[in-house]
């Protein structure tokens, strides 16, 4: 769901229409734009962090890691349209700070631990450091000619997290 477009914030009436609900229903559940953004952000952050365990059940840890990184990249790109509202809400205290980096690092830690146990990922990789490197990659490729390079950067990062060859 996009909250902004090239012309600025999308009217809440347009968001209600796209969601298939009346504007009254939207305002009863989300009386402000900040409340709606907070709910969407919290829901999608939970889905992303929860997906780590689901991916580990379906894939080897290194494959799960790459898939999770791709999901994080999509999450980051989608949240760019919410960034101003989120920052303003966090700064004012109108939106609760969700400890995003910590929650993402915990999910990353589960994948890295599974990979280390399986011998396919380095045992010395710090989840917070890896999450920080991902964020740097996302920021470096957020716009312009670099946007299509994120997949290559994520592949390189996964390769860097493999154990050294003896």
Residue ranges per structural domain of the chain: 1-31, 36-160
- In the chain, the percentage of residues whose pLDDT exceeds 90 is 45
Strand partners, 8: 5
Do residues 85 and 121 lie in contact, with contact meaning Cβ atoms separated by under 8 Å?
no
- In the chain, the percentage of residues whose pLDDT exceeds 70 is 92
Mean pLDDT of 13-40: 83
Residue 89 C-beta-side C-alpha neighbours within 13 Å: 19
User: For residue 119, how many other CB atoms are within 10 A of its CB?
Assistant: 10
Fold of 36-160: Tetracycline Repressor; domain 2 (1.10.357)
User: What pTM did the predictor assign?
Assistant: 0.82
Predicted confidence at residue 126, as pLDDT, reads 97
Mean pLDDT of 34-47: 86
User: For residue 37, how many other CB atoms are within 10 A of its CB?
Assistant: 23
Predicted confidence at residue 10, as pLDDT, reads 73
Mean pLDDT of 38-57: 92
Cβ-based neighbours of 104, under 8 Å, separated by 6 or more: 48, 49, 72, 131
Can you point out the beta strands (E) in 8-89?
A: 8-9
Per the model's pLDDT, the better-predicted residue between 13 and 62 turns out to be: 62
Q: What are phi and psi of 11, to 5 degrees?
A: -60, 140
pLDDT-derived band at 7, boundaries 50, 70, 90: low
Predicted confidence at residue 147, as pLDDT, reads 64
Predicted confidence at residue 107, as pLDDT, reads 97
Per the model's pLDDT, the better-predicted residue between 113 and 31 turns out to be: 113
| Model confidence pLDDT, tens digit, residues 74-133 | 888 888 777 777 777 777 777 777 788 899 999 999 999 999 999 999 999 999 999 999
The whole-angstrom separation of Cα 40 and Cα 28 is 16
């Amino acid at each position: 769901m996009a909250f902004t477009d090239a012309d600025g914030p999308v009217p809440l009436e347009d968001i209600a229409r796209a969601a298939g609900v009346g504007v009254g229903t939207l305002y009863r559940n989300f009386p402000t734009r900040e409340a709606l953004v907070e709910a969407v952000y919290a829901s999608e952050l939970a889905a992303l962090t929860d997906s780590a365990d689901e991916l580990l059940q379906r894939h080897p840890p290194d494959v799960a890691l790459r898939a999770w990184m791709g999901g994080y990249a999509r999450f980051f790109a989608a949240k760019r349209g919410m960034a101003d509202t989120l920052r303003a809400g966090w700064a004012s205290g109108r939106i609760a700070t969700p400890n995003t980096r910590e929650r993402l690092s915990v999910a990353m830690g589960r994948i890295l631990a599974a990979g280390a146990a399986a011998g396919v990922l380095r045992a010395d990789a710090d989840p917070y450091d890896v999450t920080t490197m991902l964020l740097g990659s996302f920021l470096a490729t957020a716009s312009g000619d670099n946007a299509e390079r994120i997949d290559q950067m994520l592949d390189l990062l996964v390769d860097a997290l493999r154990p050294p060859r003896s």
